[in-house]
Structure 1
């Protein structure tokens, strides 16, 4: 009678704890985590009174430890979970209880999360690996196995162990495919492809094959905005591989899929990237409408720096078409945006562009002024190549200005008259 009453109380406290925990996860409110922990403490204290070997004490300890980690008291949560590991019930049985939340894999998984939070990556990796072994091929644990593979893959990715990262991203993708979870399957594939593109040991052909697979499988996604987001990411990776036509195709599809009302941010990014690719391919006339719309949308969204980038790309396209007045205005818009966001690199790029326009228009004093300012605000983070380029332009402008000042007005007039006479002969 006594034990049945205690078990009933444990069930009540545990149920309340789970409700508060779900609420906390959804809302992020700390007081909800505190309430969940209070309930789990009560259930744990009652479980200690049972002094039984059915695993109830370990279940309650697990709930309490996991709640502490989720709520931010990570060190305490890790300590509580280690008491679960050390208990004889945990050591002797394949699982604490048949309940899926009580399996060894969950204990290992939550310990791994805890260690990852405090920056002990070595122990985090160890416990994620143990979680994978515990989950095994059991069908009911495959969702958790996929999540664990993703966790491990991200750790390896951050440590630049790209081969291991790719392996676990692929495992996660395969599991999601078996679970018919198309969305997560494609997202895992994208991560795998990104790790491959970043890995110098993977051939360009293999990277292109992976990206092609991502494009093909993304077509099965039900949500157009998500498909547009994925195509934009694939496009960026194609651009990294200098596959500009494929990159452009992805960005253009992304523009069509991302509605400006339901997903304006993603559409603005796709427009910006499409315009940048068109610029690099020399299709300046086609790029101008994309830069203009991108700048407008980024402005409405309050993305000031991205708006500056779009204006800068627009200015470059206009200058290449000798639309110097329009280009100057666009560069000035970009310059103000970069000043607002304290983007030094963006600022010197604008001054370089304005300097080139002034030089081509014959305004050598302005060209010298802009090139000088561009060089003066460059930092050590900027490439030596860019500095040499601007210094070269500045030198040309100074030399040409000096040459013009040496020639007297009378001599200049005589040169022009002689030129006209030669042309008429």
Structure 2
């Protein structure tokens, strides 16, 4: 008779082994199911549900006592934490995913570590991991992933204003996308490269225009209308920053069709097109685009952008000799800038409006406007040179109001200060080039100046290039918008000016080239133009499958 302590028989051992195998298979099925559910939750935009699923997978993997499966589950959970906006927690699990030297040979792990550091604001560390991921992807022949890593790496360089490194990364991304025939993504990368080249002092204008031309050569491969419209808009803004306004006009006109069904994008395109037409002296067609853009911005609740359009409209009307509409438009623009507390714009509009009143011999109103300009200027930084000019013009206007005689046909205008570096809100001055026919206008269309419609035939074109080091070559764009300058001169030859401004929240710090200023109150604001590519899934982290 066998004792209770006797070893189990062969049959009992076989039963235990079968039970153990079934238990392993059950846990493996649970892990696979949780992982699959986590992926689905991410695809459907439910990050918290995804986290719950991946946590279940990690718990089951720990019980399974399979280190390979546990590392894979930790990898997914870490990536999900990054996607859910908890990058530090994500880093902890990602570091558990592959301890030891082999971690340096897993490209997706390096990519996710880079995303986590990037989310923590550690751009330098993030760029290092993205570069390592790109090199590993290249060694595996994965051109798409290499391009994605290079794009993200360049955005990191952009945030630290390493423009040249950012350009190199975008160009490498374009090359990688070309290899795998992702020409739409390659076009987006070239667009970014061109925008950032403008920020660097290591590239000539020919270098930049060469890249922009190459980008435009790929537009036939872009099938999504919104993406195509954003691409033309971004390239047009880059041309504006190079003062190649005719090329900019063509790009903006090409953007009109693709943007037609996207009101925020369409408003931005017409805004820029009107300003570019101002810059080449074609004021009559510019007026129409200013009005259309202002109306669209109004319907979208973008008060600041609408005010810029009215200031553009005022300038164009002034050049066409319509003083009444110019004055009314400046008044509307000024109220918009007050509503949005844009003090510098208030200064500029007040000065321009004061000039309108002086031409109408309304000295007292001009005096009030100069005083308002000085008041708004007190809220601005580095206002010394501008303040001196405003004080001199205020003094001159006060003297005019006391000495003007009814017999005088016109009041004596205040004498402007001599040009001083950085003393004006408007930037550099340059002679305007000959006006040529722009696409979409009548064959016999001439510039308004050539027809003598403007108040002067020998005007200067003035442009201020606001660095897209912020909207700066990315973040941002990056995207930039052009509005005619708001500062005026009292010289008989009025200045035509166009101000280039960025519409990104962090221009060229996250290369989302939007090309107009962020709108105040719309879910999809004109400043929300996103780079069309790389075309990635709804989550940016990399995940792996199991079993």
For 2:146, the equivalent position in structure 1 comes to: 145
Give the aligned CA root-mean-square deviation in angstroms. Answer: 2.4
For 2:396, the equivalent position in structure 1 comes to: 396
Q: CA deviation at 1:386?
A: 4.2
For 2:35, the equivalent position in structure 1 comes to: 17
For 1:417, the equivalent position in structure 2 comes to: none
Structure that is richer in strand per residue: 2
Mapping of 1:126-275 within 5 angstroms? Answer: 126-139=128-141, 141-259=142-260, 262-275=261-274
Separation in 2 of the partners of 1:217 and 1:319? Answer: 40
Mapping of 1:21-420 within 5 angstroms? Answer: 21-24=39-42, 26-27=44-45, 32-52=46-66, 55-86=68-99, 90=102, 104-139=106-141, 141-259=142-260, 262-378=261-377, 379-381=379-381, 384=384, 386-404=386-404
Q: Which moved more, 1:380-389 or 1:363-372?
A: 380-389
SS of the residue aligned with 1:242?
coil
After superposition, what is the alpha-carbon deviation per residue over 1:308-345, rounded to whole angstroms, capped at 9, x for unaligned?
A: 11111111111222212111211122122222222222
Asked whether the equivalents of residues 258 and 267 of structure 1 are also in contact (C-alpha less than 8 Å), the reply is: yes
Separation in 1 of the partners of 2:385 and 2:277? Answer: 23
Separation in 2 of the partners of 1:382 and 1:289? Answer: 36
Higher RCO (CA-CA < 8 Å; seq separation 6+): 2
Separation in 2 of the partners of 1:268 and 1:42? Answer: 48
Separation in 1 of the partners of 2:22 and 2:83? Answer: 30
Q: CA deviation at 1:87?
A: 5.4
After superposition, what is the alpha-carbon deviation per residue over 1:125-180, rounded to whole angstroms, capped at 9, x for unaligned?
A: 332233223323323x3322221111111111111112221111112111222222
Q: Which moved more, 1:153-162 or 1:347-356?
A: 347-356
After superposition, what is the alpha-carbon deviation per residue over 1:44-83, rounded to whole angstroms, capped at 9, x for unaligned?
A: 2333334346x22211221222222222332222122212
Separation in 1 of the partners of 2:79 and 2:112? Answer: 6
Asked whether the equivalents of residues 14 and 40 of structure 1 are also in contact (C-alpha less than 8 Å), the reply is: no
Separation in 2 of the partners of 1:142 and 1:306? Answer: 40
Summarize the Cα distance change of 1:180–1:388 in structure 2 as closer, same or farther, 3 Å threshold.
farther
After superposition, what is the alpha-carbon deviation per residue over 1:3-47, rounded to whole angstroms, capped at 9, x for unaligned?
A: 4532442343343334334424542xxxx4343333323332333
For 1:421, the equivalent position in structure 2 comes to: none
Summarize the Cα distance change of 1:383–1:202 in structure 2 as closer, same or farther, 3 Å threshold.
farther
Summarize the Cα distance change of 1:374–1:235 in structure 2 as closer, same or farther, 3 Å threshold.
same
Q: Which moved more, 1:320-329 or 1:118-127?
A: 118-127
Separation in 2 of the partners of 1:115 and 1:384? Answer: 41
Aligned residues: 389
Separation in 2 of the partners of 1:181 and 1:60? Answer: 31
Separation in 2 of the partners of 1:212 and 1:193? Answer: 10
Q: CA deviation at 1:190?
A: 0.8
Separation in 1 of the partners of 2:382 and 2:250? Answer: 31
Separation in 2 of the partners of 1:163 and 1:174? Answer: 17
For 1:423, the equivalent position in structure 2 comes to: none
Q: CA deviation at 1:403?
A: 2.3
Q: CA deviation at 1:256?
A: 3.6
Q: Unpaired segments of 5 or more residues in structure 2?
A: 1-17, 409-547
Q: CA deviation at 1:397?
A: 1.8
Asked whether the equivalents of residues 269 and 294 of structure 1 are also in contact (C-alpha less than 8 Å), the reply is: yes
Summarize the Cα distance change of 1:325–1:35 in structure 2 as closer, same or farther, 3 Å threshold.
closer
For 1:422, the equivalent position in structure 2 comes to: none
Structure that is richer in helix per residue: 1
Q: Unpaired segments of 5 or more residues in structure 1?
A: 96-103, 414-425
Q: Which moved more, 1:192-201 or 1:178-187?
A: 178-187
Asked whether the equivalents of residues 47 and 84 of structure 2 are also in contact (C-alpha less than 8 Å), the reply is: yes
SS of the residue aligned with 1:219?
helix
Summarize the Cα distance change of 1:171–1:348 in structure 2 as closer, same or farther, 3 Å threshold.
same
